[in-house]
A and B are shown apart, each in its own frame.
Chain A
Amino acid sequence: MWNDDNGLDRVIDDVAREMTAADPPTNAGAFRVRVVARLGQRKASRAVLWILSPIAVAALIFIVVRLTSDTRTERVRLKADTTTDTARVTRDTTTVETPEAHAMSASNPSVSGSRRTRAGRQLANAVPPSEVEALAPARLTVESIDLTAIEPAESIRLPQLETIAPITVAPIGEPQGERP
């Protein structure tokens, strides 16, 4: 069939040609339809991405905000638990109303009012009122302690001191002998 390299090369070329001689398995129309359909799918998926991505971002922001607020509330609650007693005592002492205090607040409403509103605002910001109210015991009612005014004491009359004569000091002379 062949007796030289050229003859063998022709067979090699034929075999190599056969390796790519096949036509596409699908006909032209089907192939084009598939490609165009995949192009359409890609466009649709892009459109869905464009629509869904803002929603996803908004949902993510909502979740982050929600988690952050929950964490902050939990932290405040823990802090409030540890300081409940102190805060309660402080609140009780500040809310004990003596007649004098009542009279003072009545006479100067701006100072006491602003102080109360500031403290109340801080308390409202720190702890939700409903939870604290549920945990707090009933308010103590302390009777007013009536203090009687102390009468002025008699003055201590001290006798006037006598004048003392001045002390005269003589100069010290030269030291004698050796120092130890």
Chain B
Amino acid sequence: MNDAELVGRAMQGDSAAFGELIDRHRTAVYRAALAALGSPADAEDAAQDAFLLAFRRLASFRGEASFKTWLLTITWNQAINRRRTMTRVLKRLIAPVASVEPGGRRAADASVWAALVSNGPTPEDAAAARQLHGAIRQEIQRLTPKLRDALVLAQSGAYSYEEIGAMLRAPLGTIKWRVSEARRVIRDRLRQRGFDDVERR
């Protein structure tokens, strides 16, 4: 039974049909909420709220887009509303990078970069990789919401660009540009933190 048939049965009050829709799309819904909120607990709540809202709005589902796209759009709007009202989430997203050494962040990042570009599988490599991943994560979180949302949703692998465009209410080309621009901004900021100097040695 496809989504449209399940939606039709759910609209007639079949809770089991709606339960089947929940099972099918809960991971995609949860990940979209997680991309917007960054917190598993908040994403879980937002996902539940999204399904509740979708159930109430089932009558407004016209079938112009797929049920998944429609559901993801509701989820995204729900999560964005939650993100706007939750200042603690915003503070976590834009938290400043903590310095790791008295010598400064630039020196620390440069040492990590140097360890990564070397070929030897030293024990420091793993720690350096984790540190670089942390730096990239921080830079992703520092992005503007438009660039960050596009990048995270696109790289999640759970959504097509069309679905991302529906969620973010932007054309396909705009979504692709935002993903590319997000990468460029992160690269530039990493170089500003000293990675570029190491790379050119």
Contacts and interface: CB of A to CB of B under 8 A. Distances in A.
Interface of A: 1-3, 5, 8-9, 11-26, 28, 31-32, 34-36, 38-39, 42
Contacts of A42: 52
Q: Is the interface of A mostly helix, strand, loop or mixed?
A: helix
Contact of A15 (B27, B30, B140): B140
Contact of A16 (B23, B26, B152): B152
B155 A13 contact: yes
B186 interface: yes
Contacts, number: 100
Interface stretch (B40-48, B70-78, B160-168): B40-48
Interface residues on B, range: 35 or more
Contacts of A26: 44
A25 B23 contact: no
Given A5-B187, A23-B27, A36-B19, A15 B133 contact: yes
B34 interface: yes
A58 B61 CA distance: 38
B182 to A, nearest CB: 8
Contact of A19 (B22, B30, B34, B199): B34
B35 interface: yes
B89 interface: no
Nearest to B16: A36
5 tightest A-B CB contacts, nearest first: A16-B155, A20-B156, A24-B30, A15-B136, A20-B31
B132 A11 contact: yes
B137 interface: yes
Nearest to B136: A15
A19 B35 contact: yes
B117 interface: yes
A76 to B, nearest CB: 53
A29 B170 CA distance: 34
B156 A17 contact: yes
A23 B30 contact: yes
Contacts of B40: 22, 25
A1 B158 contact: no
B34 A35 contact: no
B7 interface: no
B194 interface: no
Contact of A35 (B35, B51, B137): B51
Nearest to B138: A15
Between A13, A19, A36, the greatest number of chain B beta carbons within 10 A of the residue's beta carbon is seen for A19
A11 to B, nearest CB: 6
Contacts of A1: 116-117
A37 B31 CA distance: 22
Given A17-B155, A23-B30, A11 B136 contact: yes
